[in-house]
Amino acid sequence: MKTKLATLSVVSLLLCTCGDKASTSTESSGPSGTRGGVLLTTELPPELIEGTPRPIMLPPNTPMSNARPPRPLANPNPAPPPLLPPLAQDPRHEQPPGGFLIPGPQPPPVDRERYGELIDNPWQTPVDAPLSTFSIDVDTASYANVRSMILDGRSIPTDAVRLEEMVNYFDYSYSQPTDNHPFAIHVTNATCPWNPEHQLVRVALKGLEIERTERSPANLVFLLDVSGSMNDPRKLPLVTASLELLLEELNASDTLSIIVYAGAEGLALPPTACDTQGRERIIAALRSFRAGGTTNGGAGIKLAYQIARDQFKPGGINRVILATDGDFNVGVTGDGALVRMVAENAKSNVCLTVLGVGSGNLNDGMLEAITNKGNGVYYYLDSLEEARRVFLQKLMGTLVTIAKDVKIQVEFNPARVRGYRLLGYANRMLRKEDFSNDRIDAGDIGAGHTVTAFYEIETGDARNLPPAEALRYAPPQEPSPADPSAAAAPPASREWLTVKLRYKQPEGACSTLIERPFTGVSREFGETDADFRFGTSVAMAAMILREDEGLPATRFEDAGMLAAAALGPDPHGCRTEFVSLLKRLAARPH
């Protein structure tokens, strides 16, 4: 009898093993871009990705953070829980972009994601609102998050789509500054593709490039969420592997500290020089973390800033790097209190980088809010390839701030512009008086960063348009012709608008003003450069996702055709990937 039971146990084990192999084979051979089996960033072949992915060996004794209970087997010695695997190889290519192996089909996440409400900017007339004022935004989290939703086949919340972050995700070949300012300003226009009677005006900035060998020493504090909500292979394991990528670019003059928080916060690694021995200690610490417990993020933020201030490097890079899904549930949890805490600590000239991860419970609204007030930038990591982009390809822009509190104010000439609207930047708008008020916070720009903003405008004379609201005590718009003492109006300027910018030096307190008048020309959309056309296609796609009323008949196919015709130099394949995402959106049932 015992022999028969043992035989049955062996047969059962073999059947289960074969079943697992068959399941794995089916997942890995799925259609291009699916998530079954391998977490991918793009569908691009490796020849479109610059360089060879750097191998990151995760320790074989690190448990899988979301390991499911092992299947019951008739075996007196059950197998141990599955281990966290090394970076998975994509079976379609010999050298894949990278990713984490997801063991078997994953249950759909419970959707508790939170996004800040966005109200798109309305049409204005220069008669009522001659000034348009906003803060710059170099965050890219929205694009990476939307990309993840598209590849996962999830619905895309309207407020998850921030047009400016979609546009600013991509590289543009704007020329660098040639004067003493840390960035150059470029303004151009062309016919609007979705309304040929209107014009698109692009306001673009290009930050000064800095060589990696010339950067200042860094004082970095990793603030890692290791609470139970991070118990997912796309969260804590992805974060620690991503931070190992950043470690490759640091040297002995840099120091790094690690703080972890769950129910309570703690200093997991004191300030450590990034020399050979220090790297070993840092890697060992990163590979030792487990997820579990509640989330006291507020306490962790306080401690991180305290360590950053204690180790402050004058003239150097002083930055807290927060990695979390934002699901704070104990301690200081209200968005308002967290924002005030971060804003107060930002006065110490310690910058903030936020890495959002995961899906189902991402508190995107809170993460963006603390970034906006913390002299910071917000990224979303959906894969290791995105981490390579943030920490390797974009390292200097990620770490080195070249100007802070950068504000843009555009003054429109009512003799040439009848109406306008700013596309995107809905939660970055400022009051006109905030522009010259140096106490008002605004966005920062890093080395080599590009910033792009589009205005849709209607040309014409707006001076005789009635105001939107009749004012009882408003002076007459024009002098009466019967009044012989009335002075003749000066000839109208041919300028369409003037772009004004204010910025501060990274550790400065007083802003510098730049002004650039702009006179538009008659130019068809197809006559513009590839960067203008591609950026417009991204803005168009974002407007469709946001169900913009100004594009009632525009489809993803239209945006895709514009993008495909404007790929230009695409060394990392990001533009090609965007076209493939639009194809997926176009194929979705309406």
Distance in angstroms (rounded) separating the CA atoms of residues 165 and 146 = 11
∠ CA 565-453-550, rounded to 5°: 75
Residue 557, amino acid: E
Which pLDDT value is given to residue 339? 82
Determine the topology of domain 131-209+403-461+494-528 in CATH: Immunoglobulin-like (2.60.40)
Which pLDDT value is given to residue 229? 86
Distance in angstroms (rounded) separating the CA atoms of residues 373 and 339 = 7
Who's near 382: CB < 8 A, 6+ residues apart?
39, 41, 144, 145, 147, 148, 234
Which pLDDT value is given to residue 360? 84
Which pLDDT value is given to residue 280? 95
pTM: 0.79
Q: How far does CA 138 lie from the centroid of its chain?
A: 7
Which pLDDT value is given to residue 507? 87
Instruction: Name the strand (E) or helix (H) holding 23.
Output: helix 2-28
Instruction: Copy the structure tokens of residue 441.
Output: 């916070």
538 neighbors 166 (Cβ within 8 angstroms): yes
Which pLDDT value is given to residue 474? 59
SS3 207: strand
C-alpha distances in Å from residue 40, one per residue of 33, 69, 74, 186, 433: 7, 25, 36, 36, 46
**Cα torsion angle, 555, 556, 559, 565, sign:** negative
Report H helices in 221-334: 236-247, 276-286, 297-310
CB burial of residue 339 (10 Å; 0-12, 13-18, 19+): middle
Instruction: Copy the structure tokens of residue 193.
Output: 């593709």
Which pLDDT value is given to residue 87? 32
Which pLDDT value is given to residue 34? 36
Which positions of the chain have pLDDT values less than 70? 1-111, 263-265, 293-297, 327-335, 467-491, 590
53 backbone dihedrals φ, ψ, rounded to 5° = -55, 135
Domain definitions of the chain by residue range = 131-209+403-461+494-528, 212-395
C-alpha distances in Å from residue 181, one per residue of 331, 434, 502, 504: 43, 21, 11, 10
Of 85, 84, 99, nearest to 53 by C-alpha is: 99
**For domain 212-395, is the CATH number 3.40.50.410?**
yes
Who's near 291: CB < 8 A, 6+ residues apart?
65, 226, 227, 228, 229, 230, 231, 232, 235, 236, 262
Tell how strand 255-261 and strand 317-324 pair up.
unpaired
